[in-house]
Chain A
Amino acid sequence: MPSPSLFEKSSPFSGVYFMLMVNRMQMLYFFIIMPRHLVHPYMIMGIMAVGILSQVNLMLLSKWFSSNFSVQGYQGFVQLLGERTVRVFAFLGLFLILLRITVMTLGFVEIAHQYIFPSMTSNWLILSIFIVCFYLASQGMENTIRFVVIAFLSTIWMVIIYYSFFFPPIASMHDLYPLMPPEWSAISWKGLLLVWSSLSGVEFLVCLTPWLRPKQKMLKYLTIANTISVLEYLVLFISSLLFFSSNYLVKTKYPVLDMVRYLQFPAYERIDIVLISVHLFVLVFVNSIFILLFYGATRILLGKGVQQTTRMGFAASFIIILVSILIVNQWFWKSGEEQNIWLNLQIGVGAFTYLLVPAFLLVATKLKGRFKV
Chain B
Amino acid sequence: MTHIKRVVLLMIIMNIVLLSGCSSFFVENNTVEEIAPVIFWSIQEGESGKLKISTLVPPLINEKKSMLTLQVNLLKQGRKDFNLVYYRELKSGQLRMLFISEELAKKGILPLIDTLLTDPDISQRLYLVVIKGNFEDYIRNQVDKQENLDYFLYRMLKHYETKNQGDITVINLHQFLKRLYSPFSDPILPVFKVNKENFIYHGTAFFKDDKLVATISDMNDQILQLLNNDYYLKLLPIPSLAVSLGQIRSKVIIKLASDYSSISIKVNLVGRIEEYRGDKNIVDSDELEDLNQEIKSYLEKQTTALLRNMQQWKVDPLQVGTHSLTPFSQPIKDEEWLRKWGDMELQINYQLDLQTMTNVNK
Interface residues of A (CB under 8 A from B): 114-115, 117-121, 123-124, 127, 169, 172, 174-180, 182, 243-245, 247-248, 251, 258, 261-262, 264, 269, 272, 312, 315, 319, 322-323, 326, 330
- What is the minimal beta-carbon distance from A254 to any residue of chain B, in angstroms? 10
- For A114, give the chain B residue with the smallest CB separation: B120
Question: Are A174 and B28 closer than 8 Å at their CB atoms?
Answer: no
Question: Are B325 and A248 closer than 8 Å at their CB atoms?
Answer: no
Question: Are B20 and A123 closer than 8 Å at their CB atoms?
Answer: yes
Alpha-carbon separation in the docked complex, A66 to B322 (Å): 53
* A contact residues around B330 at 8 Å (CB): 178, 182
Task: Give 12 new A-B contacts, CB below 8 A, not counting A127-B16, A251-B181.
Answer: A117-B25, A118-B120, A127-B17, A174-B323, A178-B327, A179-B327, A244-B178, A245-B181, A245-B182, A261-B124, A312-B9, A326-B20
Question: Are B325 and A177 closer than 8 Å at their CB atoms?
Answer: yes
CB-CB contacts of B11-41 with A at 8 A, as 1s and 0s? 0110011011101011110000000000000
* A contact residues around B5 at 8 Å (CB): 312
- What is the minimal beta-carbon distance from A298 to any residue of chain B, in angstroms? 17
Question: Are A178 and B182 closer than 8 Å at their CB atoms?
Answer: no
On whether A178 and B124 interact (CB within 8 A), knowing A127-B20, A245-B182, the answer reads no
- For B327, give the chain A residue with the smallest CB separation: A179
CB-CB contacts of B316-347 with A at 8 A, as 1s and 0s? 00000011011111110000000000000000
* B contact residues around A312 at 8 Å (CB): 5, 9
Alpha-carbon separation in the docked complex, A83 to B214 (Å): 78
Alpha-carbon separation in the docked complex, A323 to B12 (Å): 10
Alpha-carbon separation in the docked complex, A121 to B17 (Å): 12
- What is the minimal beta-carbon distance from B127 to any residue of chain A, in angstroms? 13
Question: Are A180 and B328 closer than 8 Å at their CB atoms?
Answer: yes
* B contact residues around A176 at 8 Å (CB): 327
- Taking a contact as CB atoms closer than 8 A, the residue among B16, B120, B123, B178 that contacts A264 in the complex is B123
Question: Are B26 and A119 closer than 8 Å at their CB atoms?
Answer: yes
* A contact residues around B323 at 8 Å (CB): 174
Candidate in A174, A312, A322 with the most chain B CB atoms within 10 angstroms: A174
- What is the minimal beta-carbon distance from A263 to any residue of chain B, in angstroms? 9
* A contact residues around B79 at 8 Å (CB): none
On whether A178 and B326 interact (CB within 8 A), knowing A248-B178, A248-B182, the answer reads yes
Decide yes or no whether B217 CB sits under 8 A from chain A: no
- For B19, give the chain A residue with the smallest CB separation: A326
Interface size class of B (residues with CB under 8 A): 20 to 34
Alpha-carbon separation in the docked complex, A126 to B124 (Å): 29
- What is the minimal beta-carbon distance from A59 to any residue of chain B, in angstroms? 32
Interface residues of B (CB under 8 A from A): 5, 9, 12-13, 16-17, 19-21, 23, 25-28, 120, 123-125, 164, 174, 177-178, 181-183, 322-323, 325-331
Question: Are A179 and B328 closer than 8 Å at their CB atoms?
Answer: yes
- Taking a contact as CB atoms closer than 8 A, the residue among A120, A245, A272 that contacts B178 in the complex is A245
Alpha-carbon separation in the docked complex, A319 to B178 (Å): 46
Question: Are B123 and A269 closer than 8 Å at their CB atoms?
Answer: yes
Question: Are A123 and B19 closer than 8 Å at their CB atoms?
Answer: yes
Question: Are A319 and B21 closer than 8 Å at their CB atoms?
Answer: no
Alpha-carbon separation in the docked complex, A1 to B328 (Å): 61
- Taking a contact as CB atoms closer than 8 A, the residue among B25, B123, B125, B181 that contacts A120 in the complex is B25
- Taking a contact as CB atoms closer than 8 A, the residue among A119, A262, A322 that contacts B28 in the complex is A119
Alpha-carbon separation in the docked complex, A83 to B169 (Å): 73
* B contact residues around A330 at 8 Å (CB): 19
Question: Are B26 and A120 closer than 8 Å at their CB atoms?
Answer: yes
* B contact residues around A272 at 8 Å (CB): 120
Question: Are B177 and A248 closer than 8 Å at their CB atoms?
Answer: yes
Alpha-carbon separation in the docked complex, A315 to B174 (Å): 48
Alpha-carbon separation in the docked complex, A186 to B21 (Å): 47
Question: Are B125 and A262 closer than 8 Å at their CB atoms?
Answer: yes
- What is the minimal beta-carbon distance from A322 to any residue of chain B, in angstroms? 6
Alpha-carbon separation in the docked complex, A245 to B181 (Å): 9
Alpha-carbon separation in the docked complex, A248 to B12 (Å): 47
* B contact residues around A177 at 8 Å (CB): 325-327, 331
- What is the minimal beta-carbon distance from A19 to any residue of chain B, in angstroms? 35
Question: Are A315 and B9 closer than 8 Å at their CB atoms?
Answer: yes
- What is the minimal beta-carbon distance from B29 to any residue of chain A, in angstroms? 10
* B contact residues around A124 at 8 Å (CB): 20, 23, 25
* A contact residues around B326 at 8 Å (CB): 177-178
- For B28, give the chain A residue with the smallest CB separation: A119
Alpha-carbon separation in the docked complex, A124 to B333 (Å): 49
- What is the minimal beta-carbon distance from A239 to any residue of chain B, in angstroms? 14
Alpha-carbon separation in the docked complex, A175 to B184 (Å): 11
Alpha-carbon separation in the docked complex, A123 to B21 (Å): 8
Alpha-carbon separation in the docked complex, A244 to B177 (Å): 9
- What is the minimal beta-carbon distance from B67 to any residue of chain A, in angstroms? 27
Question: Are A119 and B16 closer than 8 Å at their CB atoms?
Answer: no
- Taking a contact as CB atoms closer than 8 A, the residue among A115, A243, A258, A322 that contacts B16 in the complex is A322
Candidate in B12, B20, B27, B322 with the most chain A CB atoms within 10 angstroms: B20
* B contact residues around A243 at 8 Å (CB): 178
* B contact residues around A182 at 8 Å (CB): 330
Alpha-carbon separation in the docked complex, A245 to B182 (Å): 7
* A contact residues around B331 at 8 Å (CB): 177-178
- What is the minimal beta-carbon distance from B22 to any residue of chain A, in angstroms? 9
* A contact residues around B322 at 8 Å (CB): 172, 174
Question: Are A247 and B124 closer than 8 Å at their CB atoms?
Answer: no
Alpha-carbon separation in the docked complex, A114 to B322 (Å): 35
- What is the minimal beta-carbon distance from B299 to any residue of chain A, in angstroms? 24
Question: Are A326 and B16 closer than 8 Å at their CB atoms?
Answer: yes
- What is the minimal beta-carbon distance from B355 to any residue of chain A, in angstroms? 27
Q: Can you list 18 A-B pairs, Cβ within 8 angstroms, ordered by A?
A: A117-B25, A119-B27, A119-B28, A120-B26, A123-B19, A123-B20, A174-B322, A174-B323, A178-B328, A180-B328, A244-B178, A247-B182, A247-B183, A248-B178, A251-B181, A258-B124, A262-B123, A319-B13
Question: Are A247 and B181 closer than 8 Å at their CB atoms?
Answer: yes
